[in-house]
Amino acid sequence: MSETNVPSLEILVSDPQKRSGDQTSTSSYVSYQISTKTDNETYHKHHGGKGGIIVVHRRYSDLLLLYNVLLNDHPTSIIPPLPDKKVLQYLAGDRFSQSFTQKRCHSLQNFLRRVANHPVLSQSTILMMFLVSNDWDAYRKSLAGHLQTNKEEVTDVFMNAFKTVHKQSDEFVEIKEKSDKLDHNVAKIDKIFHKVVKKHDAVAEDYAKLGANVQDLQELCTGENEALAQRLKLFNEGVTQLSFGIRDLSKYLDYEYIVDLKDLEHYIDSMGQLIKLKDQKQIDYEELSDYLTKSINEKNNLISGYGGSNFFTNKLEELAGINQQAARRDKIDKLETKITSLTSELETAKRVADAFEHETLKEVTLFEQLKTRELKQSLSSLADHHIAFYEQMLDTWTNIDQRLSV
């Protein structure tokens, strides 16, 4: 499919609202409004045939289901991460605060935007139903049993946790080095901006206190020196605007920019998880290859007369009346059967490992493109907010200076 034929898909997550559970549940939850703008006619048909923006309301557990289905259906794709549910706000009972719900709303927006920008994930049926279905609860129930945990694969991941690929390609070595460096730099910037937010909040508080003191001084001058009182009032307006402006800038950094940084860290980790899964496939191939080599060597040693059981075992077999030559022939036959089976399994493992590596490289390339675009947008927004702040302050204080000069 050419890029020009891919339907557009724009998703906006907004308006987090606390809602009560149904009659069977006393727990409350947060609902998010999800608005979708697309020229994909299939979306509009499933939503009732109406054009325009499609609006539905979903909760976190709905997005978690979407994530798990995508993870299950697309094992070779980098599935964008969701914000973790097990966070301090849940333990402290603060998960309905404006700060928490707004930050989570922005993080969910990042998740759905990444899914929408992925050429494979964006075409999935589960995404379309999530975005358009007016009977989502019924659709959720229809997915019962759809998610099947591959216990064997989970066990393999655990068993191979401390194993490494013997022959890692230079390409993946470079990819890992770049992702580790990016992760380190993003985490460092994240810490810096957490300090910036604290500093901004402290400065804004200081200006607010200054404004309060200037207002007290203004009230003392009122009636006795009206000209000075008016000048103090004008100056206080500027201090108040400065305090509000710093708070607004700090709120943007805290609610959006730092959330973007944290989400990017998690996105990098998702890429790392896919590379680990790719490594596991290669480790499976390498271990099968080693096992096959050992079996071939054992067979060759038996044929040449150097293999088989040890001296004491041979003597015991002789005393038991076992024919040594027949036993050797039987072992060789079993090894030949094993070698044939292992050769077939090795070919399959090689195809799987090569295919997984190929798909992983495609995903890493796509990740790099999306990451570059996100960083550009995030830094542009950061610059725009700072420019807007300084322009507002320049206008405010220029106006105050002119009025004070009259």
Last residue of a domain, one of 128, 148, 168: 148
Query: What are the φ and ψ backbone dihedral angles of 125, each rounded to 5 degrees?
Result: -65, -40
Residue 180 resides in a domain: no
Task: Give the pLDDT score at 313.
Answer: 60
Domain count, the chain: 2
3-state secondary structure of 294: helix
Closest CA to 130 of 29, 47, 28, 21: 47
Residue 154 resides in a domain: no
Residues 12 and 132 in one domain: yes
**126 C-beta neighbours (distance < 10 Å), count:** 19
Range of the domain at 65: 3-148
Last residue of a domain, one of 148, 172, 204: 148
Task: Give the pLDDT score at 306.
Answer: 61
Residues 21 and 133 in one domain: yes
Bridge partners, 9 (sequence order): 38
Residue 177 resides in a domain: no
Residue 54 resides in a domain: yes
Which CATH number do you get for residue 306? Answer: 1.20.1270.60
Query: What are the φ and ψ backbone dihedral angles of 31, each rounded to 5 degrees?
Result: -105, 140
Residue 163 resides in a domain: no
Taking the mean position of all CA atoms in its chain, how far away is CA 393? Answer: 37
**Can you tell me the distance from the alpha carbon of 142 to that of 275, in angstroms, rounded to the nearest whole number?**
32
Residue 159 resides in a domain: no
Last residue of a domain, one of 84, 119, 148: 148
**Can you tell me the distance from the alpha carbon of 269 to that of 78, in angstroms, rounded to the nearest whole number?**
10
Residues 216 and 273 in one domain: yes
Residues 125 and 201 in one domain: no
Residues 94 and 226 in one domain: no
Contact yes or no for 270/79 (Cβ under 8 A): yes
Residues 244 and 117 in one domain: no
**Quick one: 193 exposed, middle or buried, by C-beta within 10 A (0-12, 13-18, 19+)?**
middle
Residues 101 and 223 in one domain: no
Task: Give the pLDDT score at 169.
Answer: 85
Contact yes or no for 71/154 (Cβ under 8 A): no
Task: Give the pLDDT score at 270.
Answer: 95
| H/E element, 23 | none
Task: Give the pLDDT score at 305.
Answer: 67
| H/E element, 37 | strand 28-38
Closest CA to 19 of 95, 87, 83: 95
Residues 84 and 229 in one domain: no
Residue 157 resides in a domain: no
Contact yes or no for 342/292 (Cβ under 8 A): yes
This prediction's pTM:
0.84
Residue 171 resides in a domain: no
Residues 225 and 101 in one domain: no
Residues 270 and 347 in one domain: yes
Look-up of token digits 């040890």 = 310
Residues 95 and 222 in one domain: no
**Can you tell me the distance from the alpha carbon of 406 to that of 395, in angstroms, rounded to the nearest whole number?**
17
Query: What are the φ and ψ backbone dihedral angles of 18, each rounded to 5 degrees?
Result: -75, 130
Which CATH number do you get for residue 22? Answer: 3.30.1520.10
User: What is the block-wise mean pLDDT of the chain (406 residues), using blocks of 10 residues?
Assistant: 65 92 71 93 78 90 94 94 70 73 94 96 94 89 69 50 75 93 96 96 96 93 88 94 96 96 95 93 91 90 67 58 71 89 92 94 96 95 97 95 86
Residues 52 and 122 in one domain: yes
Look-up of token digits 């009659």 = 23
The residue type at 242: L
Q: What is the CA radius of gyration of the chain?
A: 32
